[in-house]
Amino acid sequence: MASTVASAIRPGLRERQKSGSPHTPSRYISSVHSSPGSSFFRAEEDPIIIELNPRELSAGFQGESGPQCTIAFAPQNSRRVGDYRTYLASYKRREENIQARCKDYELWRSDVKDVDLGLLDDKLERAVREAYTKHLLVDAGGARLVLVLPSLVPHPVLSTILTLLFERWKYSSITLLPSPTMTIAGSGLRSGLVVDIGWEETVVMAIYEYREIHMRRTVRAMRALTCKIAALLDGVRQGQKDSVEGDLVFDFDFVEDFIDRAGGCHGLLRPTGEGLAEGIAGMGLGEQQPPAGGDDLLIDWPTDSSYRSVSISRAALHQACVESLIGQQNEDHSDDHEQSISQVLYRTLLDLSADVRSVCLPRIIFVGRGAKVAGLSARILNEANSIISQHGWTAVRGKHFNARRSGLTELAQGRAVPAEARHDITIPVAGDFVEERLSKQKSRDPSTSTAIPMTVREVSSLGAWAGASLVASLKARSFVEIEREKFLSQGLAGAHRDLDSSVTSQRATTAKSTERTSWTLAGWA
């Protein structure tokens, strides 16, 4: 009787799985907690992988498909112990200047003249301690550390990061891995073109056989989009009634949350494939008109106590996203910062050799926070494809060049015609048995009959952290491996400038096989 009542109150697991009602998907369970002794052996043998960028820190164990935690560098994470003001009923979120507030949400920036290295040290130490004590639950410094960093890190910032990790914890060595290369590894490829639409700038990196070949940058990134959308939302807020305007919350967290939500549902960019108008806009033959302004985006704008429904024009959002991220295709400005992302992508491919370009063209990977904006990657690829169709792989532009090229083409075609054809003299041509035999072999070969044309194609990736986890699990030795004693005694000045691996291998053979005589920063030098 008791079992019957219990089964009636709590249905069995099989009945719950068969039910067609919506349910929460199963939670990702790490293999760290699969057995009682797994975490013990993992702390002793396997390294800890930390991916670091100006906005957040991701940490986890090797062999996992994703990090155990992602900690953002926000002012909320820098509060003192016992500061619970945000949870009080009388707490009100203040109006903020978004452009000035951006620096409080980033760990460092490329221009280090305004970067407080002491504050960077404190923020990073707190984030690493939180990752170990709350999420990883292992002894900090007991295992080897694999640090995934962007390809461009200022030397003062890199020196501060390494000094902090070596002095606060007992790491025996730290391995540095570049984020673009690990993104390629996370996609299962060896070569490709990585378009990282990050926070401060967008970096287009060409990688061939796990080597960084060429790079271009532009400031059209998420910080520019955040400031542009913040100005738009501020105008919408001021356009409301006076009684409503004072209650609406306007701060950095709200603006960034709005960008994430609107960008994920085509609220910032219209879907691609709208016929001829979309193609003309991608080729730059006309003005890039925003979508029809009849439809608005209705959002629940938070207040101090509740929320209010506010409508925002989709046309204004589209225009703000185009001006900040996509930009106009202007051939007059050669500066990368004033060009569109598609133009920078095309210029990067143009600077590559023909064989590397043919490998990277169908392997374009979009990563970063901006890659989550729905329709952005497709829009960039469509514009890049139109530029390739219009100009080809030549860097020469202008009206005179087009006229000259058409004249040379006609001259070459005229010379290609045999002299007998000009006088209408037909000479019977005997069949060449060699050509006939080659044509028969080509018709029988399936590889030649099903040739795939070279097109611009996007490839998905698991990310830089997953790629580093895969590389670390394969026990592959990185080119940049910094030992504790040598760094603490010499600092960054102890790294030699020889970027060729053959020079390093020759020096290593003269010393002991288990000891490195010197170390290098490779691409970070």
pLDDT in tens, 132-158: 999 998 888 777 899 999 999 999 999
Alpha-carbon distance of 222 to 368, in angstroms, equals: 9
- Residues 373/362, Cβ–Cβ less than 8 Å: no
Question: Quick one: average pLDDT of 460-489?
Answer: 89
Same domain, yes or no: 153 and 264: no
What percent of the chain has a predicted confidence (pLDDT) above 70? 71
Q: What pLDDT is stored for residue 335 in this prediction? A: 72
Amino acid at 298: L
| End position of a domain, from candidates 344, 367, 391 | 391
Least confident piece of the model among 27-41, 191-205, 429-443, 480-494: 27-41
Q: What does pLDDT average to over the chain?
A: 79
Q: Is residue 75 part of a domain?
A: yes
CA distance 522 to 500: 9
Q: Which two tokens stand for residue 30?
A: 């790490």
Residues 6+ apart with CB under 8 A from 272: 278, 375, 378, 379, 382
Contact 204, 197 (CB under 8 A): no
* pLDDT tier, 44 (very low <50, low <70, confident <90, very high otherwise): low
State residue 87's pLDDT score. Answer: 72
Lowest mean pLDDT among 374-378, 395-399, 449-453: 449-453
Checking if the pLDDT of 465 tops 70, the result is yes
**Lowest mean pLDDT, pick from 169-183, 464-478, 481-495, 511-525:** 511-525
- Can you give the pLDDT at residue 339? 83
Is 166 in the same domain as 266?
A: no
Which of 363, 391, 419 is the last residue in one of the domains?
Answer: 391
- End residue of a domain, out of 391, 418, 435: 391
155 plus 68 within the same structural domain:
yes
Residue 273, pLDDT > 70, answer no
Pair 167, 252 in one domain: no
Provide the sign of the torsion angle of the four alpha carbons 82, 85, 87, 90, taken in this order. Answer: positive
116, 245: one domain: no
Whole-number pLDDT of residue 423: 52
* 375 and 475 part of one domain: no
Tell me what the mean pLDDT of segment 86-93 comes to.
72
CATH of the domain at 254: 3.30.420
Token digits of residue 290: 């925003």
pLDDT at position 447? 53
- Supply the pLDDT for residue 475: 84
pLDDT value of residue 378: 93
With beta carbons less than 8 A apart as the criterion, state whether 370 and 325 touch: yes
List the one residue out of 444, 479, 488 whose CA is nearest residue 175.
479
Query: Does the pLDDT value for residue 76 go beyond 70?
Result: yes
Question: Are residue 473 and residue 353 in the same domain, yes or no?
Answer: no
CB of 149 closer than 8 Å to CB of 179 = yes
Residue 41 within any structural domain of the chain? no
Confidence of residue 161 (pLDDT cuts 50, 70, 90): very high
Residues 97-122 as b/e (b if ≥16 CB within 10 A, e otherwise) read ebeebbeebbbbbeeeeebeeeebbe
Answer whether residue 484 is part of any domain: yes
- Pull the structure tokens for residue 303: 């207040």
- Which residues have a Cβ under 8 Å from the Cβ of 269 and sit 6 or more positions away? 263, 318, 321, 322, 373, 374, 375, 376, 379
- Rounded distance, CA 104 to CA 58, Å? 19
Q: What percent of the chain has pLDDT over 90?
A: 42
Question: Per the structure, how many domains does the chain have?
Answer: 2
Each residue's pLDDT tens digit, 235-264: 998 888 776 767 788 889 999 999 999 998
pLDDT value at 515 more than 60:
no
Q: Is the pLDDT of residue 124 over 50?
A: yes
pLDDT for 46 equals 79
> 275 versus 303: which is more confidently predicted?
303
pLDDT band for position 525 (50/70/90)?
Answer: low
User: Looking at residue 166, which CATH number applies to its domain?
Assistant: 3.30.420.40
pLDDT band, very low/low/confident/very high, at 81 (cuts 50, 70, 90)? confident
**Which residues are 481's β-sheet partners?**
175
Question: Cα separation of 304 and 252, whole Å?
Answer: 15
Whole-number pLDDT of residue 405: 67
Q: Residues 85-112: what's their mean pLDDT? A: 83
pLDDT at 223: 94
Q: Does some domain include residue 282?
A: no
Q: What pLDDT is attached to residue 41?
A: 47
DSSP element (H, E) containing 424: none
| Pair type for strands 173-178 and 145-149 | parallel
Residue 330 confidence (pLDDT) above 70: no
Q: Kindly give, in sequence order, each residue whose CB lies less than 8 Å from that of residue 43, ignoring residues fewer than 6 positions away.
A: 138, 139, 142, 143
* Domain match, 167 and 247 both: no
> Does the residue 215 lie in any domain?
no
* Mean pLDDT, residues 333-350 taken together: 84
Q: Is pLDDT of 396 > 70?
A: yes
Q: Which domain holds residue 64?
A: 48-182+465-492
Distance, CA of 108 to CA of 117 (rounded, Å): 9
Between 170 and 147, residue with greater pLDDT: 147
Q: Which residue has the tokens 């392997």?
A: 363
| Mean pLDDT value across residues 310-332 | 84
For residue 10, what pLDDT is reported? 41
